[in-house]
Structure 1
Amino acid sequence: MARPREFDEAIVLDAAIQCFWAKGFEATSMRDLIDCMGITGASLYNAFGDKRALYLKALAHYLENSFGERVIRLESTLPARQAIAAFFEEIIDRSMSDIQHRGCMMVNSALEAAPHDAGAQVIVDDFLTRAEGFFRRCVESGQNDGTISRSQPAEDLARLLLGVLLGIRVLARVRPQRALLESITRPVAALLEPQQSSSASPLPLPSITEA
């Protein structure tokens, strides 16, 4: 009969995420993981397998509990136009509060692991698909209620917003300057602004206090 686990899986996966996030997959050793997770090597192998298996598990956990949580919360509590604004506001705030300038674990994985690991590629593809889907749903909803311009197809605007998200997360690693990151969102705000309401306040990216 298998012994019950003596640790909380979510807590140790969060610790593994911090380790992989700081060093990347290749530079993170099993000793690093054991020390960060606070469990024995035997427990780690029994629960998660080898380093690659743990990395994929941690990456999927990060996707659900970081991006996934944010999307569900914003879509369920804010109108579409404000949800987009709040999304970028949170991304910039999170980027600026990270003193290690680690960027986004999903974007980092897209650059480091996904090109060489089919398992990581599947998770990264899921992230990109879900991010684009979130933006497209918001744009379509905003176009329907008149708060977002119809001058461009919702699909194109969603992919533009996805590109802005990736750009912000990469820049946050190498040039973590709030003014720079916020300046990227302003042209997007102008593009999303409904043409028929030019006198209205522009989409407040990153702030939503006046939306």
Structure 2
Amino acid sequence: MGRVRNFDRDAVLESAVDVFWERGYDGAGMQEICRVTGLNPGSVYAAFGDKHGLFIEALKSYMASMSRETIARLNSNPSGRAGIADYYAALIEAMLDGKRRWGCLVTNSIVEFAMNDPQISEAFQLHLARLETALSGAIERAKQAGELSRDVDAAEAAVFLVCTTQGLNVLAKTRPSRRTLEAITRHAFTALGFEA
């Protein structure tokens, strides 16, 4: 009979997310991972297989959490425009004063692994699809409310906003000013045709 794991898996994954997010996969040594999670190397290997297994689980946990928060934020306002504006305002705040100053764990991972890891690539595509769907829904609401031209293709506009978001995520690691971040989102709104 196997040994019962006596740790909180969600808490371990949350701690692992922070290490990988701040340091990257290669920069997160097993000693640091064990220190932060409170696990010994044997427990990490028993529970997750290896460092890569822990990383994949942490990445999936992060993406699920981000997807929930993003979808809730975009859908919390009946106005599609306001939902999108709220999403970008929260993103900017996190880039200036929160963990997003490290960039986005998903974006960082794609840059670090250069799409050579099929598990990360698959998870990334799913994450982007969720974001596109949520943004597309907000754009459709904006069109229905007359906040945006009905000629705007919601799916294409959502892809454009996802690109804008990923660009912001990369830029966040350079510690940009609020003015720079807000200018980018303002121009993205203008490009879509949102009224001021």
Q: Do the two structures share a fold, i.e. TM-score over 0.5?
A: yes
Q: Secondary structure at the match of 1:147?
A: coil
Structure 1 Cα separation of the partners of residues 143 and 182 of structure 2: 24
Equivalenced residue count is 195
Q: TM-score under structure 1 normalisation?
A: 0.85
Structure 1 Cα separation of the partners of residues 134 and 24 of structure 2: 27
Unpaired runs of 5+ in structure 1?
Answer: 203-211
Distance change >3 Å, CA 113–CA 143, structure 1 → 2: same
Q: What residue in structure 2 maps to residue 39 of structure 1?
A: 39
Q: Does 1:158 align with 2:158?
A: yes
Structure 2 Cα separation of the partners of residues 176 and 102 of structure 1: 12
Q: What residue in structure 2 maps to residue 59 of structure 1?
A: 59
Whether contact under 8 Å (2:103, 2:172) holds in the other structure is yes
| Runs of 4+ with deviation above 6 angstroms | none
Distance change >3 Å, CA 51–CA 162, structure 1 → 2: same
Structure 1 Cα separation of the partners of residues 34 and 114 of structure 2: 24
Q: CA deviation at 1:154?
A: 1.2
Structure 1 Cα separation of the partners of residues 141 and 96 of structure 2: 30
Structure 2 Cα separation of the partners of residues 140 and 69 of structure 1: 20
Listed as ranges, the matches of 1:32-181 within 5 Å are 32-65=32-65, 67-79=66-78, 80-98=80-98, 101-181=101-181
Q: CA deviation at 1:11?
A: 0.6
Q: CA deviation at 1:100?
A: 8.5
Whether contact under 8 Å (1:149, 1:191) holds in the other structure is no
Q: CA deviation at 1:3?
A: 3.4
Structure 2 Cα separation of the partners of residues 91 and 37 of structure 1: 27
Structure 1 Cα separation of the partners of residues 99 and 125 of structure 2: 28
Over the aligned positions, Cα root-mean-square deviation in angstroms equals: 1.8
Whether contact under 8 Å (2:102, 2:173) holds in the other structure is yes
Whether contact under 8 Å (2:17, 2:59) holds in the other structure is yes
Q: CA deviation at 1:145?
A: 2.4
Point out the more displaced range, 142-151 or 172-181.
Answer: 142-151
Q: Secondary structure at the match of 2:122?
A: helix
Q: CA deviation at 1:89?
A: 0.6
Q: CA deviation at 1:36?
A: 1.2
Whether contact under 8 Å (2:75, 2:83) holds in the other structure is no
Q: TM-score under structure 2 normalisation?
A: 0.91
Structure 2 Cα separation of the partners of residues 117 and 142 of structure 1: 37
Point out the more displaced range, 179-188 or 143-152.
Answer: 143-152
Structure 2 Cα separation of the partners of residues 129 and 99 of structure 1: 23
- Quick one: percent identity of the two aligned structures? 31
Distance change >3 Å, CA 9–CA 114, structure 1 → 2: farther
Whether contact under 8 Å (1:136, 1:158) holds in the other structure is yes
Unpaired runs of 5+ in structure 2?
Answer: none
Q: What residue in structure 2 maps to residue 208 of structure 1?
A: none
Structure 2 Cα separation of the partners of residues 85 and 100 of structure 1: 17
Whether contact under 8 Å (1:83, 1:138) holds in the other structure is yes
Q: Secondary structure at the match of 1:25?
A: helix
Superimposed CA distance per residue, residues 167-189 of structure 1 (whole angstroms, 9 cap, x where no aligned partner): 11111111421110000011222
Q: What residue in structure 1 maps to residue 182 of structure 2?
A: 182
Q: One-letter code of the match for 2:69?
A: R
